[in-house]
Amino acid sequence: MIRNDLRKEARETNQIIIHVDMDAFFAAVEIRDNPALRGKPLIIGSLPGERGVVATCSYEARKYGIHSAMNIKEAYRLCPKGIYMHPNMEKYKSVSGQLHEIWNSYATALEAIAFDEAYLDVTEYAENFDGARQIGHEIKRRVREELGLSCSVGIAYSKTAAKTASEEKKPDGFFEIPTAQDFVNLIIDRDVRELYTVGKMTAEKLYATGIRTVRDIQEKQETVIRLLGKQGQWITRLAFGIDERKVTPYRPEDAKSISREVTFQGDVNNYELLKDVLVLLALCVEHRAKRYKLHGNGVTLKLTYFDMKSITRSRKTSGCDNAAMIYREAMDLLDGVEKRPVRLIGVGIYNLSGEEERQLTLFDLLSDAEKDRNTEMKRLLNSLQLRYHLDFAGHLEQIYQMDTLHKTVEYMRKHI
């Protein structure tokens, strides 16, 4: 009974969505800018001997079994002769802006998933799938001719199907899934992980009950729903090609939190150093919060110890948008944790609200409150400069760049 209802519902659709996914984006940009790298196994992320993971890699590197998020030491074991590079995030961000200019010219709404990936609602501009097909080819042509890069394009009636389509013929692919039935026909005998939101843990729960393919989900709907609850209802609908989600442009004010973290290349036992690093992390969080005129109503501290055990501590506090307050709260949280060697430290603010929603705190009402905050941060930065022989004069803006932040923190770790 459920099955018949879902099949009927799956026939109803009136949107056309394009999913664009750049091919090995970071690596492709580096190869474009340095043709000598073409045809070689290029790995972007940490360097061999450092702590970290693979951000992305060229298709030549993938032939060795290397993939995104792989530990860099494992990548080096698989491909010791590969070319390893740190990412240049500012460059990638700039190219991403150019990509978005191209994509936006064809969409009434664009939902960016990352620098190199987005959903485009082209229903109005395309009018039908013939029009969408022309737009898809035009996007590929412009990306290639204007930016020297390749992308994979999927055109479909839903976000899930469009994502599946863009992955179907990578790299430099083009694929269409016009209807829910086309989607089901394509994936019916594929693994359950083909469906959106079905990750490793969810898949293992399904495997344990004998549900391994999308067809199994269709035939055992009640079991899936009983096992996974609301997620099971969602997955069951996807198995019949039903996905009514709209393309929703990202708005910074919709974010639930803002955070910044760093991984040390060597474990840190010195908690005074960790407090110094908190100063820089707090500045980075403040910078992003003020950029979007957001305020936190709580501060979080994240630590990963040497044995990979992670902990998070948080504290509610209203109107938190400045580095001095973030630093003080994070430092207090740090004082309360177990003192063991630390691999990673992060700071964030949560329960975000916009400028007009913020309520004044008692500290705001005191005279010279903002001046006191600035004075405190200047004092802390002066202490860092003296302790580590740093020079922030005229260069503090660079600390907001991830690469500069990591290099500065590593310099501090080695010169404590």
Tokens 């298709």 -> residue: 59
| CB-based burial, 65-87: b 16+ in 10 Å, e otherwise | ebeeebebeebbebbeebbbbbb
Q: Where in the chain is the domain with CATH 3.30.70.270?
A: 1-22+89-250
Terminal-residue alpha carbon distance, the chain: 68
pLDDT in tens for each of the 416 residues of the chain? 445 566 656 555 689 999 999 999 999 999 999 999 999 999 999 999 898 999 999 999 999 999 999 999 999 999 999 999 999 998 999 999 999 999 999 999 999 998 999 999 999 999 999 999 999 999 999 999 999 999 999 999 999 999 999 999 999 999 999 999 999 999 999 999 999 889 999 999 999 999 999 999 999 999 999 999 999 999 999 999 999 999 999 776 677 899 999 999 999 999 999 999 999 999 999 998 988 888 899 999 999 999 999 999 999 988 787 999 999 999 999 999 999 999 999 999 998 887 544 444 444 434 455 566 678 888 999 999 999 988 877 667 788 888 789 889 999 999 88
Question: Which residues make Cβ contacts (< 8 Å) with residue 348, sequence separation at least 6?
Answer: 257, 258, 259, 260, 285, 296, 299, 300, 302
Active-site residue (options: 30, 60, 111, 117)? 117
Question: Which residues make Cβ contacts (< 8 Å) with residue 266, sequence separation at least 6?
Answer: 413
Which CATH number applies to 1-22+89-250: 3.60.21.10, 3.50.50.60, 3.40.50.2300, 3.30.70.270? 3.30.70.270
Please give the DSSP secondary-structure letter assigned to residue 359: P
Q: Where in the chain is the domain with CATH 3.30.1490.100?
A: 252-414
Q: Evaluate whether 155 touches 136 at the Cβ level (below 8 Å).
A: yes
Alpha carbon distance 258, 288 (integer Å): 7
Query: For this structure, is 168 an active site residue?
Result: no
Please give the DSSP secondary-structure letter assigned to residue 48: T
The neighbour count for residue 109, using CB atoms within 10 Å, is 16
The dihedral sign for the CA sequence 320, 321, 324, 329: positive
Strands in 42-45's sheet, in edge-to-edge order, are 54-57, 42-45, 83-85
The half-sphere exposure of 264 on its side-chain side, counting CA atoms within 13 A, is 24
Q: Looking at the domain 252-414, which fold is it?
A: Dna Ligase; domain 1 (3.30.1490)
The dihedral sign for the CA sequence 269, 270, 275, 276: negative
Please give the DSSP secondary-structure letter assigned to residue 355: G
Q: Looking at the domain 25-88, which fold is it?
A: MutS, DNA mismatch repair protein, domain I (3.40.1170)
Torsion angle (degrees, nearest 10) of CA 244, 250, 254, 256: 90
Q: Where in the chain is the domain with CATH 3.40.1170.60?
A: 25-88
The two three-digit tokens of residue 363, written as one number:
């500290």
